Structure 1
């Protein structure tokens, strides 16, 4: 009988959480964790998209620099005379899922000189490189443009 009484006294002195306190704690914890989980998942998606966009910008910039290195007259011959504009690359070596479209157009820019009344016509090449890729259900693209003049 004494052992039973000791156990009962021991149980009375023990402090524990009630079911209501546990449910309240779980509710508060879930209210804190749910937005943090959403933020974590959204940030992962943003990092992945940023990485893909960085690759696309580098591919476009590489092509644009390659075009500038070719020179004004070589680009006129290759793209305008031979009719290769726009050039579409459906596969880029080492970059699966990316496509690149290169456009070269001859444009005339009118420049007004302050000393003379006659305008000066400058012929320039408008270079445009579009790199596109698909991420989940969305299609993304990066567009880089530049001008190249005869020197």
Structure 2
């Protein structure tokens, strides 16, 4: 296990294999945020967000309502000065806009970090939009975190 996936108030393990697994036929995708912990979330003065070294935009690939894979975008941003509640995403399927959202859709995206554990872990939020069917091409375009395309 290299991290956690926060989904619907529950947490499931994120494995290294999930970062490279192909999407199966009939899968859905939804945009997510992913936090890479640089420090453990413990000790005096350490807040959940201050323990994060980088934030990434990503796509969670779902099959039967469960996350089967996660794809991260190439842009990792240091969260200092970044208001994640205002981070916007545009979800596109086969060239058509399917949905838009901001991090505020999750309350505060950093809430996913509660009890996340130690340094080096990757914590993936719940979806920012409802899932969309994966056709020929699906992409999530984030304001500051770049784009992710399947």
Classify the TM-score, shorter chain.
under 0.3
Higher relative contact order (CA 8 A, sep 6+): 2
**Structure whose CA Rg is larger:** 1
TM-score by length of 2: 0.26
Bigger share in helix: 1
TM-score by length of 1: 0.26
